[in-house]
Structure 1
Amino acid sequence: MAGTVKKIGILTAGGDCPGLNAAIRGVGKTAILKYGMKVYGFSSGYLGLINGEYRKLNEKSLSGILTLGGTILGTSREKPFKPQEYEEYIGSKPERILENYDRLGLDTLICIGGNGTMKTAGKLQGMGLNVIGVPKTIDNDVWGTDVTFGFDSAVNIATEAIDRMHTTANSHKRIMVVEVMGHHTGWLTLFSGVAGGGDVILVPEIEWKPEILKDYLLGRLDAGKPYSIVVVAEGIKIPKKGRKRKQESAGTAVATMIQELTGIETRETILGYIQRGGSPSPRDRMIATELGAYTAGMASNKEFGRMAAYKGYDLISVGLDEVAGKIKYVPREHPLIHHARSIDTCFGDGMPDIIRRKG
């Protein structure tokens, strides 16, 4: 039938995370088996689209990848519209993308990625390409969707690490600081911190004070609790009194500050890239599969210039122009923060009600 979507391209861009292959599989298999489309996978994110590096995907090549970490297509942080490059090359990268899109005869391009990927996808849509976005990130900070795949797996990994910190902290009667990923938002830190029984949780969205942290930790010691777990997001601001040295991580800066203020032996652990690797959790496999299959349906229905998303348990789509340039921050009044405070978790912004230092 004239106007039917017959060819689609898929790419994965930005940082890797668990569930990317499950999403590729969800899009590709649904497109092939349900809608009879031809599917092409671009290598290394937008870089493959610029250089015309792609391969045709079929049902066989999409089998057996559901549980695999990483991405069979590869990824990169290439930003075709990056200002300095755009000025230097007079728009050659976007133009090459358009040429390769037209040369291959694509009817739509599926871009799987986080905030930066969605921003670029929106710009490509503005150039005349038919683009659909699929949200992924361990940070869960893509605006317009309640959840992204990759987040649940990272929460599981970080929580297991925090669990293990309890035993060594208790054995040595010391404070353990665990740094979790999250440059701008604290979703991963909040969820893993609560799940792992963190005594202190520091997120970028909540301003904290060293004095409050000091009083809380010494209060725990006075109350007969000889060790504490402090979970911090890598993107938290460090108050002037604990200003970190150049190239020093937030976890190291906080650990140094705590030991200086309390005199309690303190050690830090930086989880780093381990949070992004490995096989996706069952929940992330389901989320990625659902988003992928739904996206293939969006392509068939020509819902271009939009991103697949969750609203509660329902799958919806939102405009890429609404998503681009926005970040989904943790609300200060998030229910999980409220409930964590009720069990005496400290967020560094006020003295908890339960533990008080002895006079």
Structure 2
Amino acid sequence: MKIGILTSGGDCPGINATIRGVCKTAINNYGIEVYGIHSGFRGLLDNEIELLTDKSLSGLLNMGGTILGTSREKPFKKKGSTVDEDKVNTMLSNIEKANLECIVCIGGNGTQKTAAKLAETGVNVISIPKTIDNNVWGTDVSFGFDSAVTIATDAIDRLHSTASSHQRVMVIEVMGHKAGWIALYSGMAGGGDIILIPELEYDIHNIGNTIMNRLKRGKPYSIVVVAEGIKTENNMKAAQYIANEIEYETGFETRETVLGYIQRGGSPTAFDRNLATRMGGHATELIINKQFNRMVSLNGSDISSIPLHEVAGKLRLVPQDNDLIIQGRKMGICFG
């Protein structure tokens, strides 16, 4: 049996651990030949496919990024009003020439959508969710999220001492265009005083009042954690906008910090390494059992899978009744 594996979309910690989980299970336990497809779906268009061996998988567990490379190529994206059939036919032809009986697609929401469309053409597909934003529908957690939260929490911890020393308001912006999971989890873990996420509306006057009330209680500094996707005026960056508004509302010296791509880089946490390994191994089991066109998922503490067509086009957003939000409000944390 021959299978292909690719990684698509943005990089994140744990991709290589997932590649390792899939390939080592396939090669060592089932004698399957695994071919790495370079640069995401672009590799299927350019026929950049190479055999992976047990030796080529050494050292991947703690390595950031992806050894296969990635791209945001979307072969099914419409060109004008129609899909570019030449692209699709080229991709399908290269899969057939390589005799690949299944394609394992590792990626986020866009990748899940493309994988579902690939499955509709008759290709056997297994997908594995990958995102630091934790916004892939159908799984409780995606690998990469814990690593990003750990990095963001460490940054918030470090800002506490600076904010306290200078008696400033520090605004830290973390990733999350539509989903505020990183801001919520790192903000709570890092002791943020104000946490702003796209799913919850905020009132800048309320934020200003929260900071002033903290001053009256003898707390001359505040930490504000914001997701990059919160609404701002004139398309300003989240941290810059909130910092400017806080300074205007309160007169407090306010500084902003944008973490950016730091959240995506480096080694995965132990949790993400183990989650990636489990998800990769389960993907191989699905292939062996010919349970194709499914996405691997984490439900509670169990690894399982759901039909791929149920995932495409959906987002996993933070619900307003999330227990961290409820507990945070009870503790006096402002969510806007």
- Give the structure-1-normalised TM-score: 0.92
SS at 1:257 equivalent: helix
Whether the aligned pair in 1 keeps the contact of 2:4 and 2:100 (CA below 8 Å) is yes
Whether the aligned pair in 2 keeps the contact of 1:32 and 1:38 (CA below 8 Å) is yes
Query: Which residue is equivalent to 1:160?
Result: 154
Matches within 5 A, 1:275-354: 275-348=263-336
- Give the count of matched residue pairs: 336
Offset from partner CA, 1:17-46 (integer Å, 9 cap, x none): 000000000000000111110000000111
Matches within 5 A, 1:35-54: 35-54=30-49
Query: Which residue is equivalent to 2:76?
Result: 81
Structure 2 unpaired stretches of 5+: none
Q: Which of residues 245, 254, 261 in structure 2 aligns to 1:273?
A: 261
The AA in structure 2 aligned to 1:346 is C
Give the whole-Å Cα distance in 1 for the aligned partners of 2:109 and 2:133: 10
2:237 matches 1:253 = no
Q: Which of residues 108, 120, 124 in structure 2 aligns to 1:114?
A: 108
Query: Which residue is equivalent to 2:58?
Result: 63
Give the whole-Å Cα distance in 2 for the aligned partners of 1:185 and 1:327: 8
Give the whole-Å Cα distance in 1 for the aligned partners of 2:332 and 2:119: 48
The AA in structure 1 aligned to 2:200 is I
Whether the aligned pair in 1 keeps the contact of 2:132 and 2:145 (CA below 8 Å) is yes
Query: Which residue is equivalent to 1:28?
Result: 23
2:127 matches 1:125 = no
Give the whole-Å Cα distance in 2 for the aligned partners of 1:254 and 1:236: 10
The AA in structure 2 aligned to 1:262 is T
- Give the structure-2-normalised TM-score: 0.98
Give the whole-Å Cα distance in 2 for the aligned partners of 1:90 and 1:153: 37
Query: Which residue is equivalent to 1:352?
Result: none
Whether the aligned pair in 2 keeps the contact of 1:67 and 1:279 (CA below 8 Å) is yes
Moved segments of 4+, more than 6 Å: none
Instruction: Summarize the Cα distance change of 1:63–1:121 in structure 2 as closer, same or farther, 3 Å threshold.
Output: same
Give the whole-Å Cα distance in 1 for the aligned partners of 2:76 and 2:253: 48
The AA in structure 1 aligned to 2:104 is I
Structure 1 unpaired stretches of 5+: 1-5, 349-359
2:203 matches 1:209 = yes
2:122 matches 1:90 = no
CA RMSD of aligned residues (A): 1.0
Give the whole-Å Cα distance in 1 for the aligned partners of 2:308 and 2:89: 20
Instruction: Summarize the Cα distance change of 1:185–1:27 in structure 2 as closer, same or farther, 3 Å threshold.
Output: same
Query: Which residue is equivalent to 1:198?
Result: 192
Whether the aligned pair in 1 keeps the contact of 2:105 and 2:125 (CA below 8 Å) is yes
% identical equivalent positions:
57
Whether the aligned pair in 2 keeps the contact of 1:86 and 1:92 (CA below 8 Å) is no
Whether the aligned pair in 2 keeps the contact of 1:80 and 1:86 (CA below 8 Å) is no
